[in-house]
Structure 1
Amino acid sequence: MDDDTILVTGATGGLGREVLARARRTGRPVRALTRRAALPDDPGVAWFTGDLTTGASLDAAFAGAGTVIHCASDTRHPKHDIPGFHHLLAAAERGGTRHIVNISIVGVDRIPYGYYRVKLEGERLLAASGTGWTNLRATQFPELLDKAFTVLSRLPVMLVPAGALCQPVDRGEVADRLVELALEAPAGRVPDLAGPVVQRLDRMAAGWLRAAGKRRPVLAVPLPGKLGAGLRAGALTSPARAVGRRTWEQYLAGKASR
């Protein structure tokens, strides 16, 4: 068993790719797990195909991997993440994994949203697993907001939740932190990682429209219930943990230049 080996799940996803690049620079043996049948040609990484949802073909990837950085998530079918977590934990136990580093989201315990409930349940399963664990909650990635605004901008008027607050954090900075944590001892839930500035979503939308070269009025619409209240109360933010460096405006500047 090579306890130094780091396995990255969801290695072909947006965050997984960033984590994988940084894990390679640690000098440790690195493995990558993906559901894709065609594996990347990457001599610096040992690639494995396996399906966390069904539990198929996982053991080869996990055997002897001392640390797992868990980035895999099915945002289109969130219900798959719970069996995926069970299969992850079982494969980690069989393989002798000592430390699982998990990425979660700021607000999973405060926002009544289906995907967030799934992420929170994953945190609970990890804490009760008996395997050493570290859990990092991060705020929203700019790429996610970019996709949401792209969809919302298809209408003549761009509708956003009134008073909603957000604190986007750079995906690469989150990847940096996950790899740092993977090199340390299991630490349980660690302090959140949030972007440098808390902003109103309607103002962010207006900035996005300018960067995208689109002209639309932005209409802030009151969102009822606990979801709207949570967004207005800043449940997606962590002001005390505004340690990220790259701003939303810098992200938009990069988008405009492309």
Structure 2
Amino acid sequence: MSTENVSQNVSRNVPHTILVTGGTGTLGRIVTERLRTAGHQVRVLSRHSRPFAVDLREGGPGLDAALDGVDTVVHCASSPRGGDEDAARNLVAAAGRAGVRHLVYISIVGVDRVPFPYYRTKFAVERIVEQSGLGWTVLRTTQFHDLVHQVLAALAKSPVMPYFSGISDQPIEVAEVADRLAELAAGPPAGLVPEMGGPEVRTFADLARAYLAASGRRRALLPVRLPGKTYRAFAAGGHLTPERAVGKGTFEDFLAARRKA
């Protein structure tokens, strides 16, 4: 066995002190659970989570305290309302002062291809992470089932349900992403790792029908196509990764689990 492999095995077997930003969110909460189950000491950082209630966009001494003695950071905190780049800069600077060994960042498939403003921000944060001087790992995944469900639920409020014509999606189970992030956090920095996509590429019309069937609603479907290069990039599949369809749970599996919950 090579020295590198020995180092990786030792790294994965030794408990770490890990900070999860956004650790109360949809993804961060499960990542935290996985890491604690594996025996790691985990700190949760969010705007309202004590004792590490910190707004990353502002930084400050609370961030330095949260990072004191931390080996690895899993950066899940993000907001479509803005501020991610400032948050990343503050986190990177504080992590450098604290001597953090490894920064793991969760990104989105297509951030380098689709000119959607939130995607551009995520891509900019990737650059901040890569240029941080820290050991780093970036994982890109397709959208979570939860987000697709949220979008479809909003669209279904109308008696006629619009959907995005010509666009497909490849939703993935958030728990599978959490498993992968926990694995990456326990290992050495790995750079940009292979993407994770859901098991199926599905048209939005197909996903809408699955949602309606599961929710017991009846809606006429109205195809809608929007102008602009962002819509064209989505229609071209810039946010998909069919060659990396590694997810197992389907959208129907997700809907069935919600019904049982």
Instruction: Output the TM-score relative to the length of structure 1.
Output: 0.92
Query: Which residue of structure 2 lines up, in the alignment, with residue 114 of structure 1?
Result: 117
Query: Which residue of structure 2 lines up, in the alignment, with residue 49 of structure 1?
Result: 53
The amino acid across from 1:254 in the alignment is: A
**Do 1:5 and 1:29's aligned partners in 2 also have CA atoms closer than 8 Å?**
yes
Structure-1 separation of matches of 2:173 and 2:247: 7
Is 1:232 paired with 2:256? no
Structure-2 separation of matches of 1:111 and 1:220: 21
Query: Which residue of structure 2 lines up, in the alignment, with residue 127 of structure 1?
Result: 130
Secondary structure at the counterpart of residue 217 of structure 2:
coil
The amino acid across from 2:201 in the alignment is: V
Is 1:98 paired with 2:110? no
How much has 1:224 moved relative to structure 2? Answer: 2.2
Query: Which residue of structure 2 lines up, in the alignment, with residue 166 of structure 1?
Result: 169
Q: Mind listing any 5+ residue stretches in structure 1 that lack a counterpart?
A: 40-46
How much has 1:27 moved relative to structure 2? Answer: 1.1
The equivalent position to 1:146 in structure 2, one of 146, 149, 152, is 149
**Do 1:3 and 1:67's aligned partners in 2 also have CA atoms closer than 8 Å?**
no
Structure-1 separation of matches of 2:190 and 2:180: 13
Query: Which residue of structure 1 lines up, in the alignment, with residue 69 of structure 2?
Result: 64
Aligned CA distance change for structure 1 residues 106 and 81 (closer, same or farther; 3 Å): same
Counting matched residue pairs gives 247
How much has 1:71 moved relative to structure 2? Answer: 0.5
Q: Percent identity?
A: 47
Is 1:189 paired with 2:192? yes
Name whichever of 217-226 and 112-121 sits farther off: 217-226
**Do 1:108 and 1:119's aligned partners in 2 also have CA atoms closer than 8 Å?**
yes
Instruction: Output the TM-score relative to the length of structure 2.
Output: 0.91
How much has 1:108 moved relative to structure 2? Answer: 1.0
How much has 1:3 moved relative to structure 2? Answer: 8.6
Q: Mind listing any 5+ residue stretches in structure 2 that lack a counterpart?
A: 1-13
